[in-house]
Amino acid sequence: MPRVVSVINYKGGVGKTTLTANIGAELANRGRNVLLIDLDPQCSLTFSFYTPDQWETGLQEEQTILHWLGPLLSGGRPPVLANFVLTPGPVNDAIQANGGRLDLIASHLGLVDADHDLAAEVGGSRAQVRSPNFMRVHRMLADALADTAFDNYEAILIDCPPNFGMTTRAGIVASDFVLVPARPDYLSTLGITYLRGRLAELITDYNRVADRINAASIAPEILGVVITMVQYAGSHPLNVQQKSIAGLDELEIAVFHQSIRQSNSLFGQGGEDGLPVVLAPVGNSAVQYELQQLTSEFYARTRT
């Protein structure tokens, strides 16, 4: 069965999408079948593999996660999720010799409105546990991924929006793990603390409802924090960032050994060539090495 990992932090601009794209691409480059799901209405993950023009002309009308969600918003059952899986050309051309595959379920700018509609289905943004629609909405993605069509994937990475709305909650319910990227600064630390509290609250509420109807419980765990956008002075991070990194120990959350340095090319919006930085033929070798090491650590943690 695939390992399902939601990637999230409340604070934007921490490299969440970039980590999702690059870890997925590197795993596929090592011969694994990987699925990426873009739940963020900003569509940054989608635009890492397709240009905005390609999205407008070939995807936005019928081939995104929003179109899968449509019937559910009307009280019906969503169609088969596997029908919305795309296989981006450039990245798969680059990795095909190694036997892997990278697939994507694209996002849509209209997801922000859909998230509000989903919240209304369960009685508001705090997701009332007494709502008869609580399980239906929270399990929409988990039930879809239970389809045997997804059994061939070794990893499924979900790029969540930087909030705790219904799409994020559905992503977490479907996940085995939660990966938290964070910059080495005070605000990112605050976001991690708040996220951990909301995650615990979701698990408690969900399992309370599941116990009442004799359904299976969930137990997604935080896989760890990945420190991104590290700035170096010589061979060491800046002093102020070193203090922030050291302060993460107080949170008692596992921190990945491999961090990722600041790079304008890395944290850009993804090039027109549709290749994440880790696969770029001409790129920042230090950043590429760090991403490769991070992927090895990610894979090991999801397999223990």
DSSP string, 223-247: EEEEE-SB-EETTEE-HHHHHHHHH
Q: Residue ranges of the alpha helices (H) in 74-149?
A: 89-95, 111-121, 134-138, 140-145
pLDDT, residue 71, reads 86
How much is the pLDDT for 244?
64
What secondary structure does DSSP assign to 165-199, as a single string? SHHHHHHHHT-SEEEEEE-SSHHHHHHHHHHHHHH
Handedness of CA 44, 50, 52, 57 (dihedral sign): negative
Name the token pair of 167. 């799409």
Long-range contact list for 281-288, CB < 8 A, 24+ apart?
A: 286/261, 287/260, 287/261, 287/263
Q: Decide if 73 contacts 12 (C-beta within 8 A).
A: no
Torsion of the alpha carbons at 184, 187, 193 and 197, rounded to the nearest 10: -140
Contacts of 235 (CB under 8 A, 6+ apart): none
Regions of the chain with pLDDT less than 70: 124-127, 233-247, 249, 264-272
Q: How many domains does the chain have?
A: 1
CATH code for the domain in which residue 9 is found: 3.40.50.300
Q: What is the pLDDT of residue 265?
A: 57
Domain that holds residue 141: 3-302
Q: Give me the pLDDT at residue 269, please.
A: 45
User: How much is the pLDDT for 42?
Assistant: 93
Helices (H), the chain: 16-29, 52-58, 65-73, 89-95, 111-121, 134-138, 140-145, 166-173, 186-212, 239-247, 285-302
